Amino acid sequence: MAVRIRLSRYGRIHRPYYRIVAIDKRCHREGVANEIVGSYDPLLPEKNIDIKMDRVEAWVKEGAQISTALVNLLKHHGYQIPATTAKPASEAKPAKPRAKKDGKKFVVASRRAVKAHQAKLKAVRKVETAAAVAKAAADKAAAAPAEAPTA
């Protein structure tokens, strides 16, 4: 089971209140949580976050991941983030651009570019078919007088 530690919104319209929960990441935002590990009230001026960091660390040791919003919130309020949630820089590999056989870089085309290319190909096919139809008509016209009997 993939567990995430994230915010779950409660409260009413224009009066948000969040619970910090350990929950299966496939569940919806207000789904049944495995454990409530804290709360966050963004409208309180002071001490608006209350969290059990020992429970968060226990969940992280079990393999849970902390959501990016919660990581930013905890950093803002001065909490230490468990070390296993952040990926080391060496693990994050930059994407290498693929190279064609001729050595040029391969760039993935955007949807707009693909559509423009398809329209261009369609116009070329249209011209080619019109030329083929005209050539067939000319061949037919050229062959018709030769086959016609003279009277």
pLDDT at 91: 56
Q: What are phi and psi of 50, to 5 degrees?
A: -130, 115
For residue 64, which amino acid is it? A
Domain range list for the chain = 3-85, 94-151
- How open is the CA angle 57-62-65, to the nearest 5 degrees? 70
Closest by CA to 16, choosing from 32, 33, 38, 40, is: 40
* 3-85, CATH topology level: S16 Ribosomal Protein; Chain: A; (3.30.1320)
pTM of the model: 0.54
The β-bridge partners of 65 are: 4
Closest by CA to 15, choosing from 52, 49, 41, is: 41
Contact by Cβ (8 Å): 56, 46: no
Q: Output the tens digit of pLDDT for each of the chain's 151 residues.
A: 689 999 999 999 999 999 999 999 888 877 888 899 999 999 998 878 999 999 999 999 988 999 999 999 988 888 888 876 545 555 556 666 555 566 667 778 889 999 999 999 999 999 999 999 999 999 988 887 666 565 5
Give the count of beta carbons closer than 10 Å to the beta carbon of residue 74: 22
pLDDT at 103: 67
Give the count of beta carbons closer than 10 Å to the beta carbon of residue 54: 9
pLDDT at 70: 92
CA distances to 55, 75, 82 from 63, in Å? 13, 20, 12
